Structure 1
Amino acid sequence: MKENSRIDPKSGHLLISKPFLQDENFVRSVVLLCENSESGAFGLVLNKLSILKLGELVDDLSFLECDVYVGGPVEQNTLHFIYYGEKLLDGSIELGKNLWWGGDFNQLVSYLNQSLIDLDNIRFFIGYSGWTEGQLEAEIEDNTWIVNDNTDLESVLHSSPEELWRIILKNMGGEYQVLANYPIDPRLN
């Protein structure tokens, strides 16, 4: 059996940052990997809230006070989304059982205006996390990320962003439970 950090990362897997990662964009982050191909990887940070609301970003949805997350440091002028449940939108890509990435944005706006989508099952992101060819694999080899392929993705969407990193590590058991309690600044321990 492979150690979790040695699993080949695929769409739908989670990347959990190691507790000593100092990159401010990824400290204690959980990244949903949406795509990993020969040309690079694309993911969305699931647990970093932005200060913006969806209604501030999309004129047709100005009535919505829906949270928006920071998907990563790349192209923070772009809007991305994932949703849980049955496939609702043309062009959505399945990342795991009943978890979908993207799709027809105009169709999404129409459904949101008609209250046809449960806001608890959708998450919006500005920007994304990106890796060039081989970069993600090198970071995993350097022990920057733990790859998790056994997560209940619905519970991930419904977990508190502040606790998500710790919850996932604790649920992984073993050595990962110890990492879940690793202090942010070990000098203060």
Structure 2
Amino acid sequence: MNIDFDIFKIQSNDVLPSRGKILISGPFLRDATFGRSVILLIDHSKEGSMGLIVNKQLPIYLNDIIQDLNYANEIPLFKGGPIGTDTLFYLHTLKDIPGAIPIDEGLYLNGDFARVKEYILQGNTVTDRIRFFLGYSGWESEQLDDEIKENTWIISKEESDYLMSTETKHMWKQALEKMGNKYETWSRFPQVPTLN
């Protein structure tokens, strides 16, 4: 019986990081912030990289930090990363928000918050349209490239509607499964092997 031991070799793929791609943490990364995370890259250049963790919901809501929205439905907040945790970021599919930065086809970052607030207070749906984050993830020049070489991250691409609408609890596992082959096997690796 021939066993392909390469399946156990954790190695990042050859996809290059760029705006709109996602970073999937390797299965052995046991960092409290980045373990089992999926990060949408907002920017990647020689100067550094920025992204938002899209699959880690916080135990508080937007209504808890923005008083004007206290009578709107509870809007979940996500942990964008460990940097600038007092700063609010928002991904959305609202193409008419002035100042919004295009991230991918049909997906934008930030823009005129007064217009976003107005959209919410008019009773429009936030689900699948806007996602709010506290903080962001950042890397200095070449730091992310080095982490990719160390096989900390696997790079992939997801559709905007998936990033905005998927139940985030299983997003890390699903992102790996979609890549097939050994990545699918890695998706079943226990988070804490000693408890298995």
Q: 1:35 aligns with which of 43, 55, 72?
A: 43
**5+ unaligned residues in a row in structure 1: which ranges?**
none
| In 2: Cα distance, 1:6 partner to 1:142 partner | 13
| In 2: Cα distance, 1:79 partner to 1:63 partner | 19
Matches within 5 A, 1:140-151: 140-149=148-157, 151=158
Name the SS for the 1:167 alignment partner: helix
Structure 1 runs (4+) deviating above 6 angstroms are none
Q: What letter matches 1:100 in structure 2?
A: Y
| In 2: Cα distance, 1:147 partner to 1:120 partner | 23
**5+ unaligned residues in a row in structure 2: which ranges?**
1-10
| In 2: Cα distance, 1:73 partner to 1:5 partner | 26
The share of aligned pairs that are identical, in percent, is: 36
Matches within 5 A, 1:144-163: 144-149=152-157, 151-163=158-170
Name the SS for the 2:36 alignment partner: coil
1:27 is displaced (CA, Å) by: 0.9
Q: CA RMSD in A?
A: 1.6
1:61 is displaced (CA, Å) by: 1.3
> Does the 8 A contact of 2:75 with 2:126 survive in 1?
no
- Structure 2 length-normalised TM: 0.89
- Structure 1 length-normalised TM: 0.92
Q: Give the number of the structure whose alpha-carbon radius of gyration is greater.
A: 2
> Does the 8 A contact of 2:21 with 2:41 survive in 1?
yes
In the alignment, what sits opposite 1:188? 195
Q: What letter matches 1:90 in structure 2?
A: P
Q: What letter matches 2:152 in structure 1?
A: T
1:125-178 per-position Cα deviation (integer Å, ceiling 9, x unaligned):
0011011111111100110000003x2221232111110000111111111101
Number of aligned positions between the proteins: 185
